[in-house]
Amino acid sequence: MVGEFTLGSEYKGYVGSIRLTDKKFASFEFLVKEGGVSAKERGGKVKVNEEGAFQYDAEKEGIIGVFKSNDKGFGFVHYDDKEEDVFINPDNTMFAVQGDEVRVKYS
């Protein structure tokens, strides 16, 4: 193992760790400086929460997943087996149909 750091999710309250092997580390472009990571270096994709933990900024990039429709008009986006699906109300489905790959942005 080369290094380890913690990521958190403000939406799910999840905190986990990423372990980097030599192979992964070579392609992992994440710059950490004393006092944290600058917004420019993290490209707006990762932010630091109030507790000082790094977390993915879903508000910037959103998530990409597969839309699962319901007969009542609403649906869910499945993006990670370890996370709950994202509920999409009928007014926001934008004509997506079962199996479409979609991007969800938080606002």
Cα(87)–Cα(77) distance, integer angstroms: 7
- The two tokens of residue 72 are 């009542």
**97 is written with which tokens?**
């149909």
| Beta bridge mates, 6 | 17
Predicted confidence (pLDDT) per residue in 7-63, tens digit: 444 434 444 444 444 444 433 333 344 345 554 445 555 666 677 665 655 555 677
Domain ranges of the chain: 3-60, 62-104
pTM over 0.95: no
Q: What is the pLDDT of residues 17-33, one digit of tens each?
A: 444 444 444 333 333 44
